[in-house]
Amino acid sequence: MIALIAATPLETDQLRAALDAGGELPGGFAQFHGRIGRHSVSLVLSGVGKTNAAAATALLLARSLPRLVISFGCGGAFPGRGLDVGDLALSTEEIQGDEGAETSRGFLDMGDLGFALVQGAAGQLYNRLPASACWRERAQAALALTAARRRCRWQAGPFVTVSTCSGSEARSSALAERWQGLCETMEGAAVAQICAAFGVPFVGIRGISNLTGERDLSAWDLPRAVDAAQQAVRELLLTLPTEEPSP
C-alpha cells in the first residue's frame, strides 16, 4: 500500500475521485481507499498545520506500514529559487523551520538546543528530516513528465515547514537564508518526522501557489497549484513499479 497525505479537500479532489470513501481515522481524519495504476492507495486528509499532519500520519502508520508515504499539496516558493506559480517542487529533505529558539544572538535550532526530534536506528534527527533518495529518483521522472505536459518548471530542493507562514519580505528572506529552502509548507516536515520515527520512506511533492513575502492573495493561484501537484502524484503512481526501488 502507498499512503497519500494532504491537508485539505481542495488539494485532493482529483485523486479522491478515483478512490472510495474509507471512513475516518480516530480523531476524525477522513480516509479514502482504492487503486491507482497497479498500486493500492490510502489517502488521508490531515487538516492544516503540523499538529494535524503529525497526528494523522502517526494514526495511519500505527494501523499499517505503507511502502511509501507521499505528502503533497500547495506551497509557497521562496523568491529567487527558480520557481513561479504553477511550477512543481520535490523535496530533497523536509525542515522544521521554526522549531527552536529565537534569541538576541539569532535563531537556535534543535541541534543547538540539544533536543532531537527523532531518535532511532538511523540516529538522531533534529530540524532536518530526510526524504527517501531511492523513491525520490522515481518521483523526479514523474515530475519531469508532468512538467513537460503542463509546460511548467520543476525543481528539487529543501522544503521548509513553518507554523507561521511568511507574510513579509523580512520573514521570507530570513527563512530562505537560514535553511536555503526551495519552498514553504505548513505540514511536510511533520509528516516526514513521523515517517522517520516509524522507519517508513517519505517523498514530498508541492505545486507552487504563490511566492513567499508580502501577502498578496491576488497573485496566488491555488487551483493551478493543486492541479499540478495531483497530476504529479498520479503520474508517479502510474509509473511506479510494484517492486521496491534499489537503495
* CB of 234 closer than 8 Å to CB of 15: yes
Q: How far is 24 from 40, CA to CA, in rounded Å? A: 18
pTM value surpassing 0.85: yes
Asked if 121 contacts 199 with a C-beta cutoff of 8 angstroms, the reply is: yes
The structural domains of the chain, with segments of one domain joined by +, span 2-98+121-239
pLDDT at residue 120, rounded to an integer? 76
Task: Reduce the DSSP state of residue 169 to 3 states and report it.
Answer: helix
- The pLDDT, as a whole number, for residue 22 is 82
**How far is 93 from 128, CA to CA, in rounded Å?**
7
115-133: buried (b, 16+ CB within 10 Å) or exposed (e) per residue?
Answer: eebbeeeeeebbbbbbbbe
C-alpha cell at 75: 506551497
- Predicted pLDDT of residue 243: 63
pLDDT for 113 equals 96
At CA 85, angle to CA 50 and CA 236, rounded to 5?
65
Q: Are strands 39-45 and 29-36 parallel, antiparallel or unpaired?
A: antiparallel
**pLDDT score, position 124:** 93
Residues forming beta bridges with residue 39, ordered by sequence position: 36
pLDDT for res 176: 94
- Nearest-Å Rg of the Cα atoms of the chain is 17
Whether 100 and 107 have beta carbons less than 8 Å apart is answered as yes
Provide the β-strand partners of residue 101: 108
| Superfamily of 2-98+121-239 according to CATH | Nucleoside phosphorylase domain (3.40.50.1580)
pLDDT along the chain (247 residues), means of 10: 97 96 92 95 97 98 95 97 97 97 94 93 88 92 96 97 93 94 97 95 97 92 97 95 63
169-219 residue pLDDT tens: 999 999 999 999 999 999 999 999 999 999 999 999 999 999 999 999 999
